[in-house]
Structure 1
Amino acid sequence: MLLELAGNRRVLFIGGKGGVGKTTVSAATALAQAQAGRRVLLVSTDPAHNLGHLWGRPVGPRPVSLAEGLDGLELDPQTAVEQHLSEVGAALRKLMPAHLAGEVDKHMSLSRDAPGMHEAALLERIAETVDNGLHDYDLLVFDTAPSGHTARLMALPEMMAAWTEGLMRRRERSAGFGAVLRNLGGDDRGFGESLLGREPGDSPEDRDSQVRRLLDRRRHRFTQLREVLGDANRCAFIIVLAAERLPVLESIELHAQLQRSGVDVAALVVNKRSPADAGAFLAERRVQEESYLDELRLVLGHLPIQQLPLLASDVQGPPALQAFAELLAARS
């Protein structure tokens, strides 16, 4: 079921409560798709990255080869914040008088820990990865952070696109007013060149072009990400959970939040199911798990559910991932 869904999509987000096996399911899905002949990029957006531990090799912010046809990378939120602040700071310096550069730097420093900054910065890196990745890969698989963080992240593209669009409109009005002053023969330095921080040898047209390119790029990326997330034919969100009370309740809430954000939830993967034929203790636990899954089906019974067994050992390293990918195929 999961592999069939992945085979019909270009972008797959895999999320759920922490500790339910999202990274293992993501990595095995990506590996299976690569072995099916697709070019796949596996991306971790979780601050507590596990891809390197899972694959037994270093994985960082640039794509590295994990297997034939499969690359992986980890988006570091702190690095994303620094890059985001650097780009925004450079744009602000274009918009402000040169003598206020210190104030811009102070504002950027205070913004580093502002509420929502990490999410906004990470979203921009995700948008950039989708923008570039759709050209270079057949499938992008995102191993996301725990439920609450991911739900907030999925709601941001609409807001960020609208915010950037507003900046574009205000920028156009400001540029238009400056042009009127220049055409009238007036000096717009009090409102235009001085306010916009003209640099030596930097004409208003050059400065406007640089700022416009930055805003255009951000608008394109956020708009495209919003379109991809809302296109059920290209993108799907898979919720991974354990058959326990809190993961079931959290998965139901995550589904509702994603639906409100316009994100298609295509299926549920119930991981680490206790066997029914391995002694009284595990059999009793499986009965309890079944009661929780009955609650899940009552609310989300319209979604396909794939169940995976509790394994005797941790999944770590390429051979174990290969075995897990085969288990995914067998249980489809």
Structure 2
Amino acid sequence: MLLNDLSQTVKVLFLGGKGGVGKTSTASAVALHRARTGGRVLLVSTDPAHNIGHLWERKIGDEIVTLFDAASNAGGAGAVDADASQGRLDAVEVDPQRTVAAHVREVGETLRSMMPEHLHRQVDEHLRMAEESPGTHESALLERIAELVEDSLEDYDLIVFDTAPSGHTARLMALPETMTVWTEGLLARRDKAERFGAAVRALDRDDDPVTQRDRRIRAVLTRRRIRFEHLRDVLRDDRRCAFVVVLTPERLPVLESAELVKELESSGVRVGGLVVNRLSPADAGEYLAHRRAQELAHVDSLRELLPQLEVQTVPLLPGDLVGAEAVGRLADLYG
């Protein structure tokens, strides 16, 4: 099946789509399924309205916590394969405010190192306003995603991202290329400024304060460029990364999903397939049978719009999907 195959073959799996279609439950279930078969998995929420903690009934924040450990079956999320004792599922909910604060703090340190002391107050005021400006949140969130991918790719067999609703995620997937080009431009301007400054001062001593400042700035920019380049390369590597669009079998989610696929592919991101959630049962009365027929017509429309992509359907499950046992039952569907 689609999600099972992808979870076994790629290193980074993004799940996105329209709000309210079951992205969090799908991301949690596929992550748990991979962990139960012996994988070390990191589940990451980038949606400002985090739901992983609510789904698992656990306190989850910006620091990594373990949701499931196959060695002890900690988490109570169902049976594991006999040879899967190394499986583990960790999770983190990216805190946008903390991410932005750290991002702005680092920028502030860089700016203050460039400015005379009597201008530091103006720098702080500028940063205070910048913290609430458009684009700051997305830039900081992208850097946190890039950091998690860079730091965790070797430690985990799979990183699963539960993303924000469609429009936000489509913009985010296009940002690595933009940020890489922008950072390279800053570095090029730093090259010119440093060459001009060295010519004017006719020195380039290690103990010169201006030289030391320039090197600090260059180190920050170079680290960012490498990080964004790495994320961009991972996103564009079909062997390591895939994006799965999650939707429900209704007209508007189908149309919005087709648009999202188009935007993602134009950004160079591989779309690995589509997961249609909450398909009504055919044997639970006339009303649901009629609804299922209508839903299947929407699934057919989806296949006509996106014939190149595999579609996996997931049935509507009874009861509320809350707690580790419920996530475990959903994960059984991906086995």
TM-score after normalising by structure 2? 0.91
CA drift of 1:239 comes to 0.5
The aligned residue for residue 191 of structure 1 is none
Q: Offset of 1:96 from its aligned partner?
A: 2.3
- Between the aligned partners of 1:99 and 1:202, the Cα distance in structure 2 is 20
Aligned pair partner of 2:308 in 302, 305, 320: 302
* Match among 254, 262, 268 for residue 248 of structure 1: 254
Structure 2 counterpart of 1:85, one-letter code: V
**211, 214, 221: which is aligned to 2:220?**
214
Choose the corresponding residue for 2:118, options 91, 99, 107. 99
Is residue 2:59 matched to residue 1:38?
A: no
Question: In structure 2, do the counterparts of structure 1 residues 87 and 202 end up closer, same or farther at CA, with 3 Å as the change threshold?
Answer: farther
In the TM superposition, what whole-angstrom CA distance separates every residue of 1:122-163 from its partner, at most 9, and x where no partner exists? 001000010101122111100001111101111111111111
Q: Contact 1:308–1:328 (CA<8 Å) still a contact in 2?
A: no
- Are 2:278 and 1:272 aligned? yes
Q: Give, as a single letter, the amino acid of the residue that structure 2 aligns with 1:5.
A: L
Query: Within the alignment, does 1:176 sit opposite 2:195 as a pair?
Result: yes
Query: Residues 73-92 of structure 1 correspond to what in structure 2 (within 5 A)?
Result: 73-92=92-111
Amino acid at match of 2:301: E
Q: Distance in 1 between matches of 2:314 and 2:214?
A: 55
Once the two structures are TM-superposed, the CA of residue 182 in structure 1 deviates from its matched residue by 2.0
Equivalences for 1:1-332 in 2 at 5 Å?
A: 1=1, 2-68=3-69, 69-183=88-202, 203-329=209-335
Q: How far does residue 79 in structure 1 lie from its aligned partner after superposition?
A: 1.4
Structure 1 residues 231-240 or 114-123, which shifts more? 114-123
Gap runs ≥5 in structure 1:
186-200
Q: Structure 1 counterpart of 2:289, which letter?
A: A
* Alignment correspondent of 2:74: none
Q: Give yes or no for contact 1:30–1:42 (8 Å, CA) kept in 2.
A: yes
> 1:184: how far off?
7.3
Counterparts of 2:208 and 2:94, CA distance in 1: 35
Please say if residues 28 and 324 of structure 1, whose CA atoms lie closer than 8 Å, have aligned partners that are also in contact: yes
User: Is contact 1:239-1:267 (8 Å) kept?
Assistant: yes
Q: Distance in 2 between matches of 1:202 and 1:320?
A: 62
Superposition deviation, residue 284 in structure 1: 1.0
Q: What one-letter code is carried by the residue in structure 2 that aligns with 1:269?
A: V
Cα distance in 2, alignment partners of residues 202 and 291 from structure 1: 71
Q: Secondary structure at the match of 1:135?
A: coil
Query: What is the CA RMSD across the aligned residues, in angstroms?
Result: 1.4
Runs of 4+ in structure 1 deviating by more than 3 angstroms, as ranges, are none
Q: In the aligned structure 2, how far is the partner of 1:93 from the partner of 1:238?
A: 42
CA distance in 2, matches of 1:314, 1:120: 35
- Give a deviation string over 1:156-196, Cα, whole Å, max 9, x none: 111111111111111111111111122279xxxxxxxxxxx
Q: Percent identity?
A: 56
1:93 counterpart letter in structure 2: R
For residues 37 and 260 of structure 2, the distance between their equivalents in structure 1, rounded to whole angstroms, comes to: 31
Give how far 1:205 is off.
2.9
Scaled by the length of structure 1, what TM-score is found?
0.92
CA drift of 1:88 comes to: 1.0
Task: Name the amino acid aligned to 1:300.
Answer: L
Instruction: Tell me, in whole angstroms, the C-alpha distance in 2 between the residues paired with 1:10 and 1:266.
Output: 13
**What amino acid sits opposite 1:321 in the alignment?**
V
Q: State how far apart, in whole Å, the 1-side matches of 2:317 and 2:274 are.
A: 19
Give the partner amino acid of 2:255. L
Structure 2 gap segments, 5+ residues each: 70-87
1:75-111 CA-partner distances (Å, limit 9, x unpaired): 0112111111111111111222322212211211111
| Contact 1:237-1:266 within 8 A present in 2 as well | yes
Residues of 1 paired with 2:37 and 2:5: CA distance? 11
Q: What CA distance in whole angstroms lies between the structure 1 residues aligned with 2:325 and 2:298?
A: 32
